[in-house]
Every structure is written in structure tokens, then in C-alpha cells.
Structure 1
Amino acid sequence: MSPILRLALEAGPLAVFFVTNNLYGLMTGTGAFMVATTLALAMSWQLERRLPVMPLVGCFFVLLFGGLTLWLDDELFIKIKPTAVNLLFAAALFTGLAMKRNLMKIVMGTVMEMDDAGWRILTVRWAWFFVLLAILNEVVWRSFSTDVWVNFKVFGIMPLTLLFSAFQVPVIMRHQIQTNDPATGSPATAGEEPK
């Protein structure tokens, strides 16, 4: 799947949530968010014949907290969903490190190859970043209006995540495992097509 299509599938449900909330309110926006998230996951399955772990977990929580929001007619649940998801990811990464199992390497190891030191650095950084996102979400929903929180969720979290990801590129480049290109015998980054 192309990076642009992947980004569209991840950002699309947020765009639906934002537009529907602005037009019809949070409850309708929540229902639309649940439908759009489920459709995006189904499209990922259709295109790749596999379900990525983070979108799958995200969809589960959208359905759980969105369902509670609609069932109990209480916007609290959809507002604390990002907090719960980010703390879950952080706890999983920290627990994996404590048990000498790098979960990020297990999930992302098919996409890129790095040495163990690189995976550890990335894991620690992402775990703390998830904690930061959880704290930011709590501050915003508790301190501002629902519309401000929706704007933060759509226009704050995604750009922050993309910016944070960009800052990890030097670590990835520094810790990538180099392999020899069988055609030329010269070093090539793991996963790179032989020349």
C-alpha cells in the first residue's frame, strides 16, 4: 500500500469525525467516526490481506468508547478514548522492554531492519510520546470546549505524530542494519532492492 493511501485510510475517519461533528454535533460525529473507522480497516484488509496491529486496536477502542458514548448519551467516553489508547500503547511498550521483548521490533521488523540498540531507543521514545499524547488529551478535554477538543484531536494529534516520526529518522538511519548486495557485493540497506 502506498504511503499516501495509508495516510488517507488513517486520517480519513478523523476527517469524517471533524466534518460530521461541525455539521451535526458530537453524537452524530461519533457514530460517523465509528462507521468510517470500521470501513477504513476493512479497506486495509481488502488491499493488504492483513490487519495492521495499531489500526486494529484503534478501531476496537473507537467502537468500544464510541458505543458507550452513544448508548449512555455521554460524551466523556469518546473524549477519554485517546487517553486510554495512548496509555495502553505506552504500557505495552514499557512492559515489553521490562520483559526483554521489544514489541515495536516485533510489529515493525518486517518494514525495516535495525540493530537492537536502535529498536530500544525508538521504543522508549514512542512509549513516552504516547504518555505525552495521553496527558495532552486530558488537559484539552478537561480545559476547553468540545469543539476545541475535536479540533485538537484532528489538527493536533496527527501533525504532532507526523512531526515526532520525522524526528526519529536520524535514529533509524544510524541504526539500520547494512547487508551486502548479492549482485555487486557492496553494502546496501536491508530491504533495499538490489541494483
Structure 2
Amino acid sequence: MAEERQINPWLKNGLELGPPILFFIAYLRLQETSVSIGGTEYEGFIIATAVFVPILLTTTAILWKLTGVISRIQVFTAILVVFFGALTVWFNDPRFFKMKTTIVYAFFALMLGIGLAQGKSYLKFLMGDRLPMADEGWMIMTKRLALAFVAMAVANEIVWRTQSEQFWVTFETFGLPIFLFALIMTQAPLIERFSLAEDEGEDDAA
């Protein structure tokens, strides 16, 4: 596996968080707009989606070029965004793009759950080289995140099916990421409890 090159953290965060924020801004500006193409009327949500897809692919490619690596999660997310974004535009139906968020979180929960059923932490497989921690700690954190992803998938389904489109866009852009960030921050005591010295982590990985 290629070693990741370090880049300015502000640049990295901008490349990772920029696309959804730009989608949010584009939607707010275009939500009352409609464009006729080939006799078909496309509303603001569809237009914002069509703009979001190439922006995400471009920022992902730039991040890959700068760091030299791209995570499996980024690849999977990009594939789903392209697939469901294309369906959204092709069928002129925003439901496809809204369901994409549910599928992403449900997939993460499923993968972590499969690992747990095998007595493994796939989270450690993804992050173990950056966060040396005892296996017990990884298993606990994996269980918590798996449950969180289930809750986020369910919440997304409830919100997009019962609330306004603008509420869902705000919820998907800010609500779900803030919840996940807050959950990860609350894992600090667990990480500290099961943390390994760097040399121990390397020995364990070996």
C-alpha cells in the first residue's frame, strides 16, 4: 500500500468537505429555479445534483494526486454518488439521490457487522495504522460505529420521506456529519483506555 503524503490539513478538509457544502449552497440558490432541456423540466435539486457529481470526482482526484492514496470508503462513496446521481438526473427524480445516503450508511453498518460476526474489526483494518489500540478497544468502537451507521441510515430514510426537501438537504449536509463527528469525539476515553505505545502497535500489526 502506498504511503500517504502529508498535505496542509486545511486543504485536505476543504477538498473533503467542500463538495457537500457546495451542493448545499447550489441547492439553496437553485431550489426555485427550473431549466428546460430537450422539453424536460429540471428543478433546482436535479441541477444541484448534476453539478455536485463532477465536483466530488474532481476533488477526490485532486486529493488522490496530492496524497498519493485513496481510501476504499472514498472509492465506494464516489461510485454510489456517480450511480445514484446519474439515476437522479436521467429519471429526473430526486428520490434516487436521497436514497444514496441511506445505502452508504447501511453498507458501512453491514460491513462492520460482518466483521464483528467473524470476531474481527474492519475498522482496525482501515484505521489501525494511524491509531494503535488494543483489539478489545477496536471491537468496542466498531460495535458503536456499526450501531451509529444503522441509526443514521434509518434517520435519513425517515427524514427524506417525511420532511421537506430543504430540511433533508440541510440534515444530510450538516446534521448527519455533525452527529458522526460528535460520536467519534466521544470515543476519546475509549481510545485512551486501550491505546498502545507506537512500538506496541507496530508489533501487534506484525
Calculate the TM-score normalised by the size of structure 1: 0.88
Aligned to 1:15: 21
- Distance, in Å, in 1 between the alignment partners of 2:87 and 2:123 is 30
Q: Which runs of 5+ in 2 are unaligned?
A: 1-6, 31-43
Aligned to 1:74: 93
- Distance, in Å, in 2 between the alignment partners of 1:106 and 1:157 is 24
Aligned to 1:35: 54
Counterpart selection for 1:127 from 121, 126, 146: 146
Query: How many residue pairs were aligned?
Result: 183
- Distance, in Å, in 2 between the alignment partners of 1:3 and 1:119 is 25
2:181 counterpart of 1:175: no
Per-residue displacement from partner, 1:25-70 (whole Å, max 9, x unpaired)? 1011111211121112101111111111222211111111111101
CA drift at 1:179: 5.0
Counterpart selection for 1:154 from 150, 158, 173: 173
CA contact 1:15–1:154 (8 Å) conserved in 2: yes
CA contact 1:16–1:32 (8 Å) conserved in 2: no
Partner AA of 2:124 in structure 1 = K
Counterpart selection for 1:26 from 45, 49, 54: 45
CA contact 2:132–2:198 (8 Å) conserved in 1: no
2:11 counterpart of 1:5: yes
Give the 3-state SS of the residue equivalent to 1:170 in structure 2: helix
- Distance, in Å, in 2 between the alignment partners of 1:99 and 1:154 is 33
Q: Which runs of 5+ in 1 are unaligned?
A: 181-188
Aligned to 1:186: none
| RMSD after superposition | 1.6
- Distance, in Å, in 1 between the alignment partners of 2:69 and 2:169 is 30
Relative to structure 1, the CA distance from residue 175 to residue 3 in structure 2 (aligned partners, 3 Å threshold; closer, same or farther) is: farther
Aligned to 1:184: none
Instruction: Give % identity.
Output: 33
- Distance, in Å, in 2 between the alignment partners of 1:8 and 1:171 is 29
CA drift at 1:174: 1.0
CA drift at 1:123: 0.5
